[in-house]
Structure 1
């Protein structure tokens, strides 16, 4: 069944179950079981053995510890501990009070995560988790639902990272582009120049960023988001109380210290940022061959160990600050345990997402979709549009932007080079745009999971509330890519894409009045 149409079954089944049941662990689990049995020809014993081996490979691979995944999981636990100490020390409460005095509107509170999401462009994981820690005290004060916060985080993290050359994504993409240009003997431009020229053709990214700020200004609560925002404003419940525990939710297990200061929140976060970025630079230099420049550093950096190191430093700082506070305060062990427990929902979802991603990879779902595309007889003018849709569906099904990049960038580059070399950069841009779109819609995407974790939102609520916004941007980008392919222009399709998003947003604003009619 590998590499055939049947390879789509686990991905489609999982997506349908998520939408119907809204239970992500159950849906992922069924997808894993079905996919494993397909790979083992329905042999129960072999299927169970395969599931166990896939689970074990998350921690041990080729006889050695799989440090990449271990570091990331450990970082999530460290993030939970850091958040617990910042909360118990009263740092989050103090920062919230300070922010309320300076950020006087609900609109201003929502600008905090959106602007931070653009400023912190080095890595999407780091962006998703760090922005949430800073923004939550502010958005919570103004009763912004956690689903809305997760949308702001997710819709700025991947979009800004994928167009930033000085980022983990940018470095990886530039390296891939270089090999594609060399393989197709294209010498008009170097890899870095090609990446920069591709930026305006990444239509979905700019549509998503525009819609974020129009959502803030016009208070657009589309689809399920309206329910979450209305509940938050009327009851103060930032998450659906019927959904149970959410990642990072401490459930008021301890009382915040009354003498907390802003420094109890600021210093751990500053140490997290400095420690992570410094380690990224150090590991990038060590892993670079010859003289290291800024691009080689970010191309060769070890993001996961950098996050772990930054998290370790941040926890130490948060712990020292907490211990230094006067009595009364909660027991240190209790605070630590609550921080660990708060991250368990995110850990479970991430592990299951990795497992079904492995299953889908073994079924060669991505390769099947790419093969069907390569064999299709299509009008070359529609190449960017079709590549955008296919990359989006592939990222949605597999839950990985990087995996989609790896499969689709070479294919798109080769097809464009053979048929119409002038479309090679728009075609590659369409891969990047479609991958981010699919990532935004996928419940098994790492970035989506970590965005809901950083915001402290129920994961499925985040996926479902972000979906209408992502679809609006994807429709606008699709029109743009059709015009791009037909006209050969880049800036006009970008302008048309943004105009469509703006018009749709204004129409929604007019026919669907904002939930927050009295609070700006």
Structure 2
């Protein structure tokens, strides 16, 4: 006991020293940088570089995002960084995106809890397990499940995660692999799907920026789909990995070795982000398969009814599920308790996304995006426009994790540049869409990574780090494709 206390005391002292050094370095940076953020130049990249190094070294994403945001505040506001941090937090909380994710992600957690409480998850697992006879078939079933729900990547990630993770667990498939297959299917298939929230959103941005006519956003968007190289190559590489044509590499290989040695299916600290809070599926006396499919179909129908509005769709689905489950004998108080329990299970994923919004807001104050774009587009030539757009905005999304906010920033920038150079707008927007998918796919704290980690019960750092080698592989192939395309068509 004394030894444990002494170890804890030493760890605390070491932690104080480390954080003391970090804050001393922050203060020094704040003192040395110019007073005007417009004069920062390359110094705008310091917070992003610090955050990436910190997360890779410590595997602590919450602290990495928080410290990087504080560093931005110190650089811009000097001694007034604490009020500035509070203001940024308030701005992030008041964003429309934040309200959306709290409502949608929180209530998706509630829907999952209701499905689990009423035995839907267990019944679906039994149904699939009786038909799937090998690990490869289980992973292909996971991919198919994710693709079927590609109306929206949130819906795809959460639904396929809760449905297929227990099935894959039976075949001793590491949670990292389950998360990789789901994440690689969710956004790439959604962005290629003409009847998805991605198509609706990007198409509406094209109308707003004058590159698509009102009422023609869908056909105009579909013209960009053949040029979304990353979505296609990411799916292809994932399929080849499941088949064993591409071997397990890097951290993913380590995950398989851990399980083969008798270790746990989930990496350490996964229970913190697990939507089930690390609990097994509830097994009622008579689990019914309809208790899995009915809530999901209700949600899909509600989202489609409200013109692909996930927020209205999930609220409507919860109301209808109240009638559905109470009619089966579920007590209204038990229903309410389950909804609250599901909301509680989504607190960490929601917190991570809000912190990502805070860092994105702080990065804009130091001028990070403006600097990167200015450097990238300076002296750009038309043949290299597609690959430049892809690489710049992929890196921006990877670092900032601003989700669809990247498209709001990027399309108004690339559209006039493309038109001024006489380029093909479908190619450029296709490259922007691909960049968003790559950044979201590989970023440790993007909504896609966090929600997939939550639904599969996999630590989000481990999910991100095992997925990156395959994402980088697809990204490099895509970049080469854009270079070739640019020189062929221009």
Distance 1:473 1:238 in 2: 26
Please tell me whether residue 439 in structure 1 is matched to residue 440 in structure 2: yes
Which residue number corresponds to residue 262 of structure 1? 289
Residue number in structure 1 paired with 2:73: 36
CA deviation after TM superposition for structure 1 residue 444, in Å: 2.8
TM superposition shift of 1:96: 1.7
CA distance in 1, matches of 2:196, 2:401: 20
Aligned counterpart, 2:354: 351
Q: CA deviation at 1:115?
A: 1.8
TM-score (normalizing by structure 2): 0.82
Structural mapping, 1:72-471, within 5 Å: 72-180=101-209, 192-218=218-244, 220-232=247-259, 234-235=261-262, 237-241=264-268, 244-252=271-279, 256-278=283-305, 280-281=306-307, 298=308, 302-314=309-321, 317-318=324-325, 321=328, 323=330, 338-374=341-377, 376-421=378-423, 423-471=424-472
Report the CA distance between 1:450 and its aligned residue.
1.8
Q: Distance in 2 between matches of 1:209 and 1:79?
A: 25
1:261 CA drift (Å): 2.7
Residue aligning to 2:50: 13
Question: Aligned pair in 2 of structure 1 residues 228, 317: CA closer, same or farther (>3 Å)?
Answer: farther
Q: Deviation of residue 237 (structure 1)?
A: 2.3
Contact 1:247 1:346 in 2 (8 A): no
C-alpha distance 362-320 of structure 1, shift in aligned 2 (>3 A): farther
> What is the alpha-carbon distance in structure 1 between the residues aligned to residue 103 and residue 302 of structure 2?
15
Residue ranges of structure 2 left out of the alignment (5+ in a row): 1-35
Q: 1:51 aligns with which of 80, 85, 103?
A: 85
Closer/same/farther in 2, CA of residues 320 and 443 from structure 1, 3 Å limit: farther
Asked whether the 8 Å contact 1:155–1:209 carries over to 2, the reply is yes
Change (3 A) 1:14 1:103: same
**Cα distance between partner residues in 1 of 2:470 and 2:405:** 24
**Structure 1 residue 223: Cα displacement:** 1.4
Residue 265 and residue 50 in structure 1: after superposition, are their counterparts in 2 closer, same or farther (change >3 A)?
Answer: same
| Cα deviation 1:477-503 (Å, max 9, x = unaligned) | 1111111111129xxxxxxxxxxxxxx
Structure 1 residue 390, shift from structure 2 partner: 0.8
For residues 99-129 of structure 1, give each alpha carbon's deviation from its aligned partner in whole angstroms, at most 9, with x where no partner exists.
Answer: 1111122112112231233332322222222
d(CA) in 2 for partners of 1:6, 1:358 = 17
Query: Residue 471 of structure 1 aligns to a residue in which SS?
Result: helix
The number of residue pairs the alignment matches comes to 450
Contact 1:82/1:315 (8 A) holds in 2: no
Contact 1:85 1:322 in 2 (8 A): no
- Residue 247 and residue 48 in structure 1: after superposition, are their counterparts in 2 closer, same or farther (change >3 A)? farther
The 2-side partners of 1:39 and 1:316 are apart by 53
The alignment partner of 2:223 has SS state of helix
The Cα of 1:474 is off from its aligned counterpart by 0.7
Cα offset, 1:354, TM superposition: 1.9
Secondary structure of the 2:224 match is: helix
Per-residue deviation, 1:210: 0.9
Could you tell me whether the CA contact under 8 Å between 1:275 and 1:313 is conserved in 2? no
RMSD: 3.1
| Distance of 1:265 and 1:32 partners within structure 2 | 41
Q: 2:107 touches 2:339 (CA, 8 Å); kept in 1? A: no
CA distance in 1, matches of 2:318, 2:50: 36
User: What does residue 295 of structure 1 align with?
Assistant: none
Secondary structure at the aligned position of 2:272 is classed as: coil
- Indicate conservation of the 8 Å contact 1:384/1:430, yes or no: yes
TM-score computed with the length of structure 1 as normaliser: 0.78
Q: 1:408 to 1:275 in 2, by over 3 A?
A: closer
